[in-house]
Structure 1
Amino acid sequence: MKFIIASFIRRAALLCASCCAFAAIVLPAHAQSRDSSSAELLLSDEPMVFTASKKAQRISDTPSAVTVITRDQIQASEATTLPELLRGAPGVDVIELNRSNTDISLRGTNNIFSNKILVMVDGRSIYQDSFGGVFWNMQPILISQIDRIEIVRGPGATLYGANALAGVINIITQTPDKVKTQTRQAAGEQNSLFSEALVNAGDGITVGAAYRRTAGYNAGNSGYQRDDHALATANFDVQRGHGLGTWRFTGGLTDGKTELSTPYFSESYGRWRSGFLSASYRNDGAAPYSIRGFFNGSHIDGSGAGRDETYDLEAQQQRQIGAHHSFVYGADLRRIQSNSSILGASGHGQNLWALYVQDEYQLASQTTLFGGLRVDTNSSYGTNLSPRLSLVRHLTPTQTARISYGSAFRAPTLLEMYLDVSFPTTPELSLRTLGNPNSKPEELTNLEAGYRIDLKHGGFAGLSVFHYDISRLLEYQVTQYASPAPGLPAVIPVLVETRNGGGAHAQGAELETEIAIGPGVKALLNYSYQDIHRDNGMPIYFAPKHKGNIGIVLGGPGRWNGALMAHIVGAMDYDAAASKSGRMGGHTSIDAAASLRVGSGADGWRLGISATNLLGKEYIEFPDAAIQTGAAPSASIHPRTCWFSIAR
């Protein structure tokens, strides 16, 4: 904890000074009038999104497939984790390995330690640059803070750079001026406890605290890896207005013990500490601009002990040129540093700088062409270009069609470049796994088309179809075998190394609809098809070909809130090893929640009950029995889990 706290104190002034200096260098001063289009957008009933184009837009104007999980849905679900909120969205693949390990990706690219999507909180990346992927259960964020979640499917590298290969998930929190003081306490099976408190301290300041613990699915089962955890979180959010501009300072800490089942940690249960500090300024004048600096830090104790730090500074501006061109452009600087026992004796780091631009060109009154390009230069793997071209056509006031072409890349992590660990496989032999400092980024090209119609009595229906190709897949390949005994053939792997290998190809479709049934009541239905294979035809990654969700949500200010959602997951072919594949059967699970507001007014108490896998039909979401040689199985059997909660 000393490391995190000291870092916060040392870097708070540095972030503020850096933002101001960057603004003076990159961004000019602007007129004091507000953009009139922003007011028009706020009057629209159609959902507003920011992530798809780094500017506020109606969802039908964006060049991407976008899904929004609203605050009403979040509250109605009674969810206690981020993965619970994302499981029901189209194109989203969730592997809950056990209660402490969840991996999430988009469009069939999921895997253990999934690393094919960029995840952000308020535009701040929480992707673990050193190791890849996201530690979903260890983020210093409260569920009650979340205003909405924007899911952008398809490559996002033109605006966001590395790791937005299959898409972007942006978790957007409430600003302090919208926060109401609230608390929520919940108790569930597996000796689970969930506690949150969010306080509006006035004058644009909010503070939050949370505690979460569980004995895990594997409690009392010595045949499986432990998956219990206990984590405490604290954060703050400060907002200050200045003319047309707004300053925002946020920070948070998470501290506790958790199990991290990875291919690289042999005894991974240990203390986890992570934190962040962010300072940003946004000016909403005639040519809006923003500056943000942030620091992410984490520290793991145990056999995979190490410390990771990420520093980032970004400036962006939106400018209208003439009657037809609207530009978004910016610059980004990043430093990644890691010191870990599994990355060799010395620490490793990377420096990154990037420039990006996107032109939204009005071809005709109902037709818009998006063209963009980003240049990323990294001190380890060189320069990457990420172009995108999209055409959006409003066929009628309620119908929109789009077609897009784009590319993206996933950067090799420090783990893939410098990993050096060994595991015993027999009394005489060990398996050594090495990274490759010469690793190059994975690259993806994507072509997709989409259609959306707003329904007459509320709601919408949408369809997206896509095809993408991935090249230079980064994988661990066996490069040396040894004999189990003298005179016998060499059949036991003793050396595995990171290599850029072949490619993969995928095609798929996503159908999504939302229908308003009555005040505060809506039905949700989506179906995803995704078929992805290697160049040689073998399956790859861990995602079903067919997947659907159907449910009903009752949200809003009424006395009753609730949600009922069925998740239907088809059978899955997977690549179990370099030379064989397997198949795992499908399953259907039902999540349900209901809450009743008691007392008078909007500030009354709310009593809730919820359950995941309500019918109790047990299943697993990952087929491998064990992640590493000789270890106990880590993929848990999912039982029913019930929760009781009280909130105000």
Structure 2
Amino acid sequence: MSLGPSSTRSSLLLALLFSPALLADDLFLESESLPQVLTATRLKQTPAEVPGSMTVLDSELINASGARDISELLRLVPGMMVGNISGNQAAVNYHGTNASEARRMQVLIDGRSVYRAGLATVDWSDIPVAMEDIERIEVFRGPNTVSYGANALMAVVNIITRHPADSHGTRLKITRGERGINDFYASQGLGWNGGDLRLSLSGQEDDGFDSDRNGADYRDSRRLNRFSLAVSQALSDNQSLDWQIDAKDGTNQRPYTYHPVFSGITAAGNNSDVIAKDYAGSVRWNLDVNPDHSLYIQGSAQHWDRQQVWRACDAEVSFSPQLTQLWQLNPNYTERLARNMPRFAGPGAPPGTAAEMALANQVLDQWRNGASQTLCGDIDQSTRESRYDLELQDTLSLSDSLRLVSGMNYRYDRADSETYFNGTLDDTIWRAFGQLEWRASEHWLLQGGAMYEDTRLIGSSLTPRFAVNYLINPRHSLRAVYSEAIRSPDMFENNVNWSYQVTNLQPAAFGQSSARYFVKTRGPGDLDQEHIRSRELGYNGYFAELGLALDVKLFYDEISGMISEPLRNNQYIASNANNSRFRGTESQLDWRLSQIDRLRLTYAFVDAEASNPLDQQFSARNSGSAGWLRDWGHGWNSALFYYGDNALNGYRFERVDTRIAKRIPLGKAHLQLAGVLQQRLDHQPTTFVDNNYDERRVMYFSAELEF
């Protein structure tokens, strides 16, 4: 495969890194305790052993960034494209695809998926976890259906919260700043014989973007409150029980975008805001059978409630049964008729088939007889989704050189919406997975795994992964990985039954106070899964004497059967007719220059080609970040970050963030004061033309008390 000029740069870098001068001391050092990650294969592995590319955002980095949102943190991950649909709707995807439909990445909280199956989305602003409760974020950069099932098509983000045992004491924090920033956090942690607990309350507020393309207020502020309770209890020497309860309640503004179909009608509404409520609970039983054998059983329940009711006005003929029949016969003909109704009222129906013209003339008769009057009513676009998940996982060391992780999973998803599904739609998913790790010799590590998945709405699939890691020593490895993954069409794409029930009509439509709008859309019902084939060559190393961790990879990914068309109720043409290809290189460097300085660099070169231009919108050819963390002593520390990409949905993004903090001891307590300055270096909208700030700079300050 051809990887372009960037591969030459990567080859030169690898050659330099493996020079005898750099490796001489490191090759013969005794193996010290190395950091371990879990997200890649569900097995604990050092970075050199992972069958793919990993990025770990640790608590020091999270705190130093000053980020208020998880999506902002992901700018530190090479190849991660982070943008905004609006001020309270982030768009995040690995390597790209459609800018407004970033739906090809799995997101987990402590292993529990928060990817909504009904509308195939992750509500980044509404994830019910506070930044202060996060211990680290592990990102597997590549397909990982093998470990986490369909929808882990391009990457997996695993948000790992702090263990209750590490959260004892009281923390209080407030954040205030420009653009309406008003956040708070409070937590209490305590322990008892064999058990620990953490209770936290948090909230966020901000005003979103200042203005749209016309200079008007964009209406994209957010207000939210969160509750989290985590408990860990030892049942015996080899058994423990962990359980969590999370809840979130808030409001997200939405700009009013409805435009009446029929001419001469004035829109009545001024907002279509969303009341967002999330609830989640999980319990996990852990059993260590012996030092070489462990298993767990985890059950979870989640509920997403999005309440959205808005008022609209249109002509009475909008609710004509004959117009509805005409729409089902030919949407394009119907839209042409509707938008030019006064012009056709005199001469009669536009040219079409006999059936089309007959229905059109009946509609025109209704128009002439008074159905052109304006009606206003309420539209309920609310959605409710629920998920129940049960998983069994077994981890077994068969010998000193052979480890196996295997398990089964059952999941039930339900989506309820009168608008999108004309009621309720549900699905059941069964999974069986396994991953085998074999140390063939001191230097060779072979890994293979597969996931079998069967979903009632889509069908079954089997996805494999094979990897070879050559361990130069426990800290340095070369890897070659081949993997396949799938994404199942979500309920909205495949099974939508989309129509608007309008209530409280004033005056009544054809004598009824409630009626359905003439536009009705049905999903195809026979969409196949999207499929990716991924090849990766990489190097991971840790130079102990230098305090330098490095990861470099070359990749070539091909996605087929993509669902890329715009899914609008007046143009719903979903198909599997599209494909994309991504190739390039990524690198990340984390260098602890000394006990007081830490340097972090990332860079990604992504060459994207797609049969549908929409799937190239969200792929920046060059993107990266740079960070410098320093402890100045006497309680002072600072961080400086740069984020940039050359074109995300056509717009350049460059920003510098500076954070300065002072930690002040107060007896047994500590007070930390911090200030963050974010300065945009470009002068362009953020991702979309309507996302504009009046000022390119924002400041906010926080005070945190621990005791």
TM-score by length of 2: 0.76
**Bigger shift: 77-86 or 345-354?**
77-86
1:458 aligned partner: 547
Deviation at 1:403, TM superposition (A): 0.6
1:211 aligns with 2:215: no
Structure-to-structure mapping, 1:242-253, within 5 angstroms? 242=235, 243-253=237-247
Deviation track 1:210-247 (CA, whole Å, cap 9, x = no partner) reads 11111222369863541111111111001101221221
Work out which of the residue numbers 443, 450, 459 in structure 1 matches 2:531.
Answer: 443
Distance 1:353 1:261, change over 3 A: farther
Q: List aligned pairs for 1:62-211, cutoff 5 A.
A: 62-109=50-97, 111-180=99-168, 181-203=170-192, 204-211=196-203
1:365-444 map, 5 Å: 365-421=442-498, 434-444=522-532
Structure 1 residue aligned with 2:250: 256
Match of 2:559 among 470, 485, 491: 470
Structure 1 Cα separation of the partners of residues 255 and 108 of structure 2 = 23
Deviates more, 1:95-104 or 1:216-225: 216-225
Deviates more, 1:210-219 or 1:530-539: 530-539
Question: Within 2, Cα distance between the matches of 1:129 and 1:268?
Answer: 23
Contact 2:680 2:696 in 1 (8 A): no
Q: List runs of 5+ in structure 2 lacking aligned partners.
A: 1-30, 260-268, 309-379, 501-516
1:622 maps to 687
Match of 1:15 in 2: none
* Counterpart residue number, 1:594: 660
> For the aligned residues, what is the CA RMSD?
2.7
CA deviation map 1:15-51 (0-9, x unaligned): xxxxxxxxxxxxxxxxxxxxxxxxxxxx945322110
TM-aligned CA distance change 1:386 to 1:469, over 3 Å:
same
Of residues 25, 47, 57, the one that matches 2:45 is: 57
Is the contact made by 2:109 and 2:159 (CA closer than 8 Å) also made in structure 1? yes
Of structures 1 and 2, the one with the larger relative CO (CA 8 A, separation 6+) is: 2
- Shift, 1:268, TM fit: 3.9
Aligned runs of 1:471-486 on 2, under 5 Å?
Answer: 471-476=560-565
> Bigger CA drift: 118-127 or 268-277?
268-277
Provide the residue aligned with 1:35 in structure 2. none
Per-residue CA deviations over 1:587-619 (Å, capped at 9, x if unaligned) read: 32111111101125673100000022x256443
Residue 251 and residue 259 in structure 1: after superposition, are their counterparts in 2 closer, same or farther (change >3 A)? Answer: same
Q: CA deviation at 1:296?
A: 1.1
Distance 1:634 1:617, change over 3 A: closer
Q: Deviations over 1:233-265 (max 9, x none)?
A: 111001101221221110111111113679999
Out of 227-236 and 552-561, give the one that drifted further: 552-561
The one-letter code of the counterpart of 1:476 is E
User: How has the CA–CA distance of structure 1 residues 354 and 263 changed in structure 2, closer, same or farther, with 3 Å as cutoff?
Assistant: farther
Q: SS of 1:328's equivalent?
A: strand
Deviations 1:490-513 (A, max 9, x none): xxx943232221211110210111
Does the 8 Å CA contact 2:39/2:140 hold for their aligned counterparts?
Answer: yes
Q: Is it true that 1:546 corresponds to 2:622 in the alignment?
A: yes
Amino acid at match of 2:478: A
The letter of the residue matching 1:61 is E
- Residue equivalent to 1:640: 697
Map 1:250-289; keep pairs closer than 5 Å: 250-259=244-253, 268-284=272-288, 285=290, 286-289=292-295
Judged with a 3 Å threshold, the aligned counterparts in structure 2 of structure 1 residues 538 and 290 are, in CA distance, closer, same or farther, namely closer
The residue type equivalent to 1:245 in the other structure is: Q
Q: Work out whether residues 88 and 565 of structure 1, in 8 Å CA contact, stay in contact via their aligned partners in 2.
A: no
2:593 is aligned with what amino acid? I
Most deviating of 447-456 and 386-395:
447-456
Q: What amino acid sits opposite 1:475 in the alignment?
A: S
Contact 1:432 1:496 in 2 (8 A): no
Structure with higher Rg: it is: 2
Contact 1:217 / 1:638 at 8 angstroms: preserved in 2? no
CA-CA distance at 1:123 after TM superposition = 0.5
**Structure 1 match to 2:429:** 352
Q: Kindly provide the amino acid, as one letter, of the partner of residue 363 in structure 1.
A: A
Q: Is the 8 A contact 2:48 2:474 kept in 1?
A: no
Whether contact under 8 Å (1:620, 1:638) holds in the other structure is: no
> Which residue pairs with 1:490 in the alignment?
none
Deviations 1:167-218 (A, max 9, x none): 1000101111011321211001112201011110333111000111112223
Percent of residue pairs bearing the same amino acid type: 23
Contact 1:431 / 1:495 at 8 angstroms: preserved in 2?
A: no
Q: Which residue of 2 aligns with 1:6?
A: none
Aligned mates of 2:163, 2:56 — CA distance in 1: 18
Counterpart AA for 2:293: A
Q: Deviations over 1:439-468 (max 9, x none)?
A: 221111100011122123202122111101
The letter for the 1-side match of 2:700 is W
* Structure 1 residues 457 and 229, CA gap change in structure 2 (3 angstroms): same
Residue 549 of structure 2 contacts residue 591 of structure 2 at CA under 8 Å; is this kept in 1?
yes
Cα distance in structure 2, aligned partners of 1:94 and 1:532: 16
- 1:298 is aligned to 2:304: yes
Extract unaligned runs of 5+ from structure 1. Answer: 1-42, 424-428, 480-492, 575-583, 626-632
Counterpart CA distance in 2 for 1:69 and 1:287 is 29
Q: Which moved more, 1:146-155 or 1:456-465?
A: 456-465
Residue of 661, 675, 700 corresponding to 1:609: 675
Provide the C-alpha distance between the structure 1 equivalents of 2:573 and 2:422, rounded to a whole number of angstroms: 18
Please tell me whether the aligned partners of residues 605 and 647 of structure 1 are also in contact (alpha carbons under 8 angstroms): yes
SS in 2 for 1:380: coil
**Distance (Å, rounded) in 2 between the aligned partners of 1:520 and 1:471:** 48
Query: CA 1:503/1:224 → structure 2, altered by over 3 Å: closer, same or farther?
Result: farther
Q: What is the CA–CA distance in structure 2 between the aligned matches of 1:331 and 1:360, rounded to whole Å?
A: 19
CA-CA distance at 1:90 after TM superposition: 1.1
TM-score (norm 1): 0.83
The whole-number CA distance in structure 2 between the counterparts of 1:557 and 1:283 is: 44
Matched with 1:426 is: none
* Alpha-carbon distance change, 450 to 378 in structure 1, aligned in 2, over 3 angstroms: same
Deviation at 1:306, TM superposition (A): 1.6
- Please tell me whether the aligned partners of residues 477 and 499 of structure 1 are also in contact (alpha carbons under 8 angstroms): no
Q: 1:604 to 1:494 in 2, by over 3 A?
A: closer
- Structure 1 471/558 Cα, relative in aligned 2: closer, same or farther at 3 Å? farther
CA separation of 1:363/1:208 partners in 2, compared to 1, >3 Å: closer, same or farther? Answer: same
CA contact (8 A) 1:405 1:445 kept: yes
Higher fraction of helix? 2
Residue by residue, what CA displacement relative to the aligned partner does 1:534-565 show, whole Å, maximum 9, x if unpaired? 14788624120101211202369971233111
